[in-house]
Amino acid sequence: KALINYTFIVEETPYTRLCSTKNILTVNGQFPGPTLYVTKGETVIVDVYNKGSYGITIHWHGVKMPRYPWSDGPVYVTQCHIQPGGKFSQKVIFSSEEGTLWWHAHSDWSRATVHGAIIIYPKKGTSYPFPKPHAEVPILLGEWWKKDIMEVLTEFVQNGGDPQISDAYTINGQPGDLYPCSKPETFKLLVDYGKMYLLRIINVDMQDILFFSIAKHQITVVGTDASYTKPLARDYIAISPGQTIDVLLEANQSPDHYYMAARAYSSAKGVEYDNTTTTAVVQYNGNYTPSPPSLPFLPDYNDTNASVNFTGSLRSLANKDHPVDVPTNITTQLIFTVSVNTFPCPINRTCKGPNGTMLAASVNNISFVNPKIDVLEAYYYHINGVFGTRFPSFPPYVFNFTAEYLPLLLELPNRWTEVKVLDYDSVVELVFQGTNLVAGTDHPMHLHGYSFYVVGWGFGNFNKDKDPLGYNLVDPPLQNTIAVPKNGWTTIRFKADNPGVWLMHCHIERHLTWGMDMVFIVKNGPSPEVQLLPPPPDMPPC
Ligand code: C2O
Ligand code: CU
């Protein structure tokens, strides 16, 4: 079968938002970037040309890329930057995914503007497990900074602790009516009364879980992270950075203009956040005099229950056509703490963390340090001294993770480049344990190369005797990004059947930059069909 081809030209393009113009990095001049349309099981070749002024990488978020991490994209994990003037042909291999995913830059903070939707249609002869919608619309919830994003990142790194909050949230690249100089360009969704619409909602923002809702309309969730869910009717959704949520919208209200809106859910105590609200308009076609739209209900910015109640209500469709396959007979039990920590402030700097410290973040108290040569290359070519294989499977100390005061010692993580090696086909159960070291907050954890079942979650410390009794092994949602609740825990399961080098990280960009990431190496299986494929000839060199 013929391969589908896309060309991505990464280049600086002037865009005007919030009354000022700046150059942003785009793909093909578009912001948000182009949508990829594929059918389940297809392979796509994307020729990425870097015509910008600094290096970049591109990642296909949620695409499992069986046996082919070479095109996965996270910088220093599976490749180095595509340098200015460089080109990299990326082979994107779709297998079991069906629904909505997205692609984004995976180096520095370039993904703020370099991102787009991926729509994966059912195979020929199969259809959606819901009535065919009249139209389908990607809804990208993003963020906008007035400053250049590289400057934002530099300032962030220089004074660790300053959250560098955005100047606006956006819907399909537009801030909406409530921001200065924005109203004429507000995104409008035109609908016909009585028709059904499929909204493919993607949280492409950098720093926040978002609440989203539409005035006067209920929405019905039918999928998340390119996997179908049981229909879930709700007034609002909570969506993590990285996550996608497909919803049906029935245009069943009196013809008028209605706002859809999104704003932050921000749970870290005392941490500044962008408290603005982005809007777009659901506009009914027809002849009528529209009334001024009013804002829909959105939960309060710190309403943890509103966030976890929504996230915890998602269930796999789990029917004959879309069965679940929850792994049992666990062979590998892991417990990973996810924490915000501190480092002493380096001399000659002002750090804005608590008591003048520099903020950091960690998984099992290891703040990941990017190697100079990407982990995949070092692994494949047996280059020594790039990474170690002693990532701890359990936190180093037994203590009350979510207590108000925790030992100072634990606030200082280790700066290491350690990976966790998994045998092929090992059956992994992983408990993420949130902590209250410097501040408790939610962490949307994302795993490359896999989707995982979310079998349980709760607040406080994970109890290994009691909590597993409540696991859902019947219809847990299949996701690639899951928000670990503030001062709580979440358990996921997956079968390590995709050999390669796979990054796992918090999808809140500042936490990732601070080191809340780690790498799995999944070993080859016994026969060639279950082993890593060879690299392409044009891997960007380190
Ligand atoms: Cu959305 Cu590591 O990526
Ligand atoms: Cu985080």
138 and 257 fall within a common domain: yes
**Is the CB of residue 505 below 6 angstroms from any atom belonging to ligand 1?**
yes
In the predicted model, is pLDDT for residue 1 greater than 60?
no
Q: Considering 279, 314, 349, which residue would you say is the last residue of a domain? A: 314
CA dist., res. 377 & res. 76, Å (int): 9
343 inside domain: yes
In the predicted model, is pLDDT for residue 417 greater than 90?
yes
- CATH of residue 271's domain is 2.60.40.420
Question: What are the pLDDT digits (tens) for 457-504?
Answer: 999 999 999 999 999 999 999 999 999 999 999 999 999 999 999 999
**Is the CB of residue 263 below 6 angstroms from any atom belonging to ligand 1?**
no
Mean pLDDT calculated for residue range 234-242: 98
Q: Considering 71, 96, 127, which residue would you say is the last residue of a domain? A: 127
pTM (predicted TM-score)? 0.98
pLDDT band at 390 (very low <50, low <70, confident <90, very high): very high
- Helix/strand/coil for 62: coil
In the predicted model, is pLDDT for residue 369 greater than 70?
yes
CA dist., res. 134 & res. 121, Å (int): 15
135 and 105 fall within a common domain: no
* Nearest ligand to the C-alpha atom of residue 57: 1
Q: Which atom of ligand 1 is nearest to the CA of 503?
A: 2
| Percent of residues, the chain, with pLDDT higher than 70 | 99
Report the range out of 199-213, 336-350, 407-421 with the highest average pLDDT.
199-213
119 and 135 fall within a common domain: no
CA dist., res. 136 & res. 121, Å (int): 11
Candidates 305, 299, 335; CA nearest to 435 is 335
* Nearest ligand to the C-alpha atom of residue 111: 1
336 and 352 fall within a common domain: yes
302 and 229 fall within a common domain: yes
CA dist., res. 264 & res. 237, Å (int): 12
338 inside domain: yes
**Is the CB of residue 115 below 6 angstroms from any atom belonging to ligand 1?**
no
258 and 376 fall within a common domain: no
323 inside domain: no
358 inside domain: yes
291 and 144 fall within a common domain: yes
493 inside domain: yes
Number of Cβ within a 10 Å radius of residue 194: 9
Q: Which atom of ligand 1 is nearest to the CA of 242?
A: 1
Question: What are the pLDDT digits (tens) for 252-267?
Answer: 999 999 999 999 999 8
Strands 332-343 and 20-27: unpaired
324 inside domain: no
CA dist., res. 281 & res. 367, Å (int): 42
* Nearest ligand to the C-alpha atom of residue 480: 1
Query: Which stretch of 145-159, 238-252, 404-418, 438-452 has the lowest confidence by average pLDDT?
Result: 404-418
Residues 217, 253 contacting (CB under 8 angstroms): yes
Mean pLDDT calculated for residue range 67-88: 98
ipTM of the complex: 0.99
- Ligand 2 centroid to Cα of residue 359, in Å, is 12
Residues 205, 142 contacting (CB under 8 angstroms): yes
10 and 111 fall within a common domain: yes
CA dist., res. 429 & res. 317, Å (int): 22
Residues 357, 345 contacting (CB under 8 angstroms): yes
Q: What range does the domain containing 459 cover?
A: 332-530
- Ligand 2 centroid to Cα of residue 489, in Å, is 13
Query: Position of tokens 């020929």?
Result: 124
Atom 3 of ligand 1, residue of closest alpha carbon: 61
- The partner residues of 300 in beta bridges, in order of sequence, read none
pLDDT band at 395 (very low <50, low <70, confident <90, very high): confident
In the predicted model, is pLDDT for residue 396 greater than 80?
no
392 and 497 fall within a common domain: yes
Question: What are the pLDDT digits (tens) for 320-351?
Answer: 999 999 999 999 999 999 999 999 998 888 88
**Is the CB of residue 420 below 6 angstroms from any atom belonging to ligand 1?**
no
32 and 134 fall within a common domain: no
177 inside domain: yes
Strands 419-422 and 517-522: parallel
- What mean pLDDT is reported for the chain? 96
- The partner residues of 219 in beta bridges, in order of sequence, read 234, 249
**Is the CB of residue 59 below 6 angstroms from any atom belonging to ligand 1?**
yes
CA dist., res. 258 & res. 292, Å (int): 8
Looking at residue 45, its pLDDT comes to 98
- Ligand 2 centroid to Cα of residue 511, in Å, is 5
378 inside domain: yes
Q: Is the dihedral of CA 87, 7, 203, 234 positive or negative?
A: negative
Mean pLDDT calculated for residue range 160-168: 88
| Termini Cα distance of the chain | 34
- 521, two tokens: 């190496």
- Ligand 1 centroid to Cα of residue 320, in Å, is 31
Query: Position of tokens 């009516």?
Result: 177
Query: Position of tokens 């992994």?
Result: 428
Looking at residue 398, its pLDDT comes to 67
492 and 403 fall within a common domain: yes
In the predicted model, is pLDDT for residue 195 greater than 70?
yes
Which residues touch 532 (CB under 8 Å, ≥6 apart)? 67, 68, 69, 380, 499, 500, 524
For the chain, what is the domain count?
Answer: 3
CA dist., res. 189 & res. 203, Å (int): 18
- Ligand 1 centroid to Cα of residue 453, in Å, is 18
58 and 166 fall within a common domain: no
Q: Considering 110, 127, 144, which residue would you say is the last residue of a domain? A: 127
